Structure 1
Amino acid sequence: MAALRAGLLGVGMMGRHHARVMRDVDGIDLVAIADPGGDPHGVAGELPILPDIESLIDAGVDLAVVAVPTQFHEDAALKLAAAGVHTLVEKPIAHSVEAGRRMTAAFTDAGLVGAVGHIERFNPALQELRRRIAQGDAGEVFQIATRRQGPFPARIADVGVGKDLASHDIDLTAWVAQSDYVSVSAQTTYRSGREHEDMIAATGRLANGVITNHLVNWLSPMKERLTIVTGEKGAFVADTATGDLTFHANGTFPLEWESISAFRGVSEGDVTRFAFAKREPLRVEHEAFRDAVLGRPSEVVTMEQGLRTLMVVEAALESARTAETVVI
């Protein structure tokens, strides 16, 4: 079977990695790259840099990846849908829920694969975590907490830390727990002189009763990417920067002082660091997108799922503006 002809819109900080991976995935042939800003990282190779989305479509591509700033996602995606091109857009799906709805409808109506690049779902630590939670290794899950913080990335100018980074945590939390958010409450702050928030603290509840907490910012000198799942049997800690997963089991030591046993709670038990295959998440994401286009079973993140995540993020930002919990 001939390889799928692939196009890439945007070769900035994220697009350059897409270019590298797309060239190395079986069944995909990167034939066209477009970026009105040129090729700042020199990733085009022998391919010419096309000026716009129209010229990318004219190259006759079967699928495309959109890695331009969020504010341009809708325009590019709608044009690709109209041209019959299966498309993966970087997260978040769009700059607004209304735009995301239009994009989702366009791909659904055209019978095309529309996907969103929520890459954390393909992180090996989170995939292993989801599998172990599903098989009951944590028992009943009580809480999922995430910390995603670090210095300000110069690449972001059109959205705040909520849509750029917290969207990762909201999506991965619902995915790991296999349950949607039903409410969210948040606080934000603006410290870097930009019109968008650069710090958000959000709490929520999932439909299955799990409570969530997310600390996300662009104001920290150290970089953290942690997901902590606490359940009746202990706590999993996933470090998505390194792909490591650790389990801290509840202790089972007997307590001889019975009069305080009711107040003791859990104790520290064995700590296990798991060994498992660690493939590059972006490569796994592209393979899932390819398989979806070919009609094979796939774990690709659909536009419907990406839209749901954006709805939760916007609900969190609304909560911060109104100082009220938002029911989703």
Structure 2
Amino acid sequence: MLLPIQVAQKIYYMIVAVIGVQVNLLAIVILSRGKCGLSICITRYLVAMATADLLVIITEVILFQVNFYYFPRCFLDITPVCTVTYILRRAVIDCSVWFTVTFSFDRFVAICCQKLKTKYCTGKTAAVVPASTGILLCAKNIPFYFTFEAGMIIDNVPWLCYDNPSYYTDPGWIGFDWFDTVLTPLIPFAFILLLNTLTVRHILVASRVRKGLRGQSKGENHSDPEMESRRKSVILLFTISGSFIFLWLLFVIDFLYYTITGTDINYYTVPEYTFQQFGYMLRNLSCCTNTFIYGVTQSRFREQVKRAAKYPVTSIIRLMNKQNK
């Protein structure tokens, strides 16, 4: 018998799976073409983020959540398979989070550190940083392979992935669990809030100085291309990082709750379980939002989306015209 929250999740995750795959693929294709008026540095970070989000949708939403509700007891539930799938889920979720951090740091350097900007904010760095981050995060999650054991053996085939009891009692595993949770998402939360605060402070100071130099403090109205470009960059940065913080907030609150109170999540009450699952639902939704953010904040991205939407229709019309001739 499914709980009300589980009934909602069964429908919710199917919708997220369908939408998430499409919007992230769309973002990857459009951004990769480089026709959105963004620098190659920003473009590569956004493509990396969209790729990580797409992988989260595939591994976390489709292979885990949708499989759980619609295809119980399939080959994905064989112990070695579900163990590897779990590692991939953790790795791509980490990448999705930390790519947001690396993008925020890149924009912080570009806006606040002019001397470092020319060396750091390059296309090469924007390729090396996400790649190195992804490799390190994948390596970090390998130990999870040894935290599971089979739930049952059927015809000599191990099924399901149950936590090894030592994971909750062995000091080494307890420390690793703390390290894993602090690394994602507590440190990213702190980094993003700090970087955005420093960026806002720098912008306010720089804005006052530039207005004074351009005579706007005396009521004159001059356009400032530099500030306009910076404003667009900041809007993109703040909407992405703000969306991340908002959608991960319940997940973080739940972690702090069971950590501080010492509550065992395996024995949650129905309200506690419902709150926890809402946190997971919003966390997974964060992998679908960036494409909509690009569409709202970037006019050239919207133009490319419109062209992509019209392309099948125009192609059919051209084909019909050729056949008529």
* TMscore range, shorter length: under 0.3
Higher strand content, 1 or 2: 1
Higher helix content, 1 or 2: 2
User: Which one has the largest radius of gyration?
Assistant: 2
**TM-score computed with the length of structure 2 as normaliser:** 0.24
